[in-house]
Amino acid sequence: MNRLPDQTISHLQGILGRPNLQGTRYEYVRHIGIGGMSDVHLVYDTRLGREVAMKVLRSEIDSEATKERMLREARILAKLDHSNIVPVYDLGTLGEERVYYTMKFLEGKTLAEYTLENTELLDLLRVFIRVCNAVAHAHSKGVLHRDIKPENIMLLPYGEVMVVDWGIAKAGVESSDEANQNDFKFSSSSFTTSSTTIESTLLGTPSYCAPEIWKSVPDSGTFPPKYTISSDIYSIGATLYYTLTGRPPLVANSFGELQRLSAGHSPPPPRTLQQEIPRPIEAICLKALSASTQHRYTNAEHIARDLQLYLDGYEISAYKENMLERLVRWTKRNAFIVLLLFVYVLVRILLFFFSLL
């Protein structure tokens, strides 16, 4: 049986979405998923003897611009050496110069899925601290994520937490490039209330975008927008809001309605949706969601610190307690001492009572 020419095989694999791995160290296993400009496949690394995820630029959108964007994405990820950020292993090109990179293969649940099954507040806060630490690390390296949301946070079977999908991340803590007229060709028909995404493409997911980004859409007079650490902080706050309440801060049935809500920027306080949310945690969330960038946390590490202080039983920076709340918090933190005092007082009372007999 005659063998098809390599060029024909490469062309057919491109049509089917399967990468041409001839001459590489990788063996194809299966297709995992599809993104905005790439396919993700599970492949076997024959050199290291392990399965890895391979992200490959889709052939139908292969151009010099998309190649450069894919290369930049891989190099940005490679700069980030953190236990809660997926590591990059390899970068190269396949047949017909299709850019690819390999990374750790993740199997688990998104934060959106996890919160449907696990509503234990302390567990959710511990997860969220790791998210904040990962984003803080990226910011310390001059990298903005620009699309932080529950679907981009993965929880793995053995307790690992990963911030994923750095496809629109940008090296440079203030960024307005790539945000041009083509990035803001919104399609209201592609609006969905479940994921609140808009095709083709606001940089970021609308329900998790900061109000200053919304103000910079075309015809607003301040186009293009400037993405900053503060806009990532807002997205962290919006993700925390979802984690606490099961919905994003602003919910709408159309893109236009969401844009109007963002202009007014009045998300209902989390406790109006879930009364059992502690007031300090609500305060952390609302500070990160502040309409004014000056009133938000200055960095993600400060959010993590406030969350950890709450877990450890200390007062946080975002919430001023009254005397009763202070007393209750002290009692919880010093439960053993309180128990000893109670036993001591009880014994003294009993001794006094028996001395009268």
The alpha carbon of 56 is separated from its chain's Cα centroid by a whole number of angstroms, namely 22
Give the number of other CB atoms < 10 A from CB of residue 323.
7
CB 57 within 8 A of CB 100: yes
Q: Which residues are the active-site residues? A: 147
Burial code (b: 16+ CB inside 10 Å, e: under 16) for 172-207 equals ebebbebbeeebbebeeeebeeeebbbeebbbbbbb
What are the CB-based long-range contacts (under 8 Å, 24+) for 12-16?
13/95, 14/59, 14/96, 14/98, 15/59
Using CB atoms within 10 Å of the CB of residue 245, give its burial: 0 to 12 exposed, 13 to 18 middle, 19+ buried. Answer: buried
CA dihedral 14, 146, 198, 286 (to 10 degrees): 150
DSSP code, position 106: -
Distances (CA, A) of 46 to 53, 153, 267: 13, 29, 51
Exposure of 264 by Cβ count < 10 A (0-12 exposed, 13-18 middle, 19+ buried)? exposed
Query: What is the distance, to the nearest Å, from the Cα of residue 216 to the centroid of all Cα atoms in its chain?
Result: 22
Give 28's contacts (C-beta < 8 A, 6+ positions apart): 18, 19, 21, 41, 43, 44
Cβ partners under 8 Å of residue 97, min gap 6: 62, 67
Contact present, 76 and 169 (Cβ < 8 Å): yes
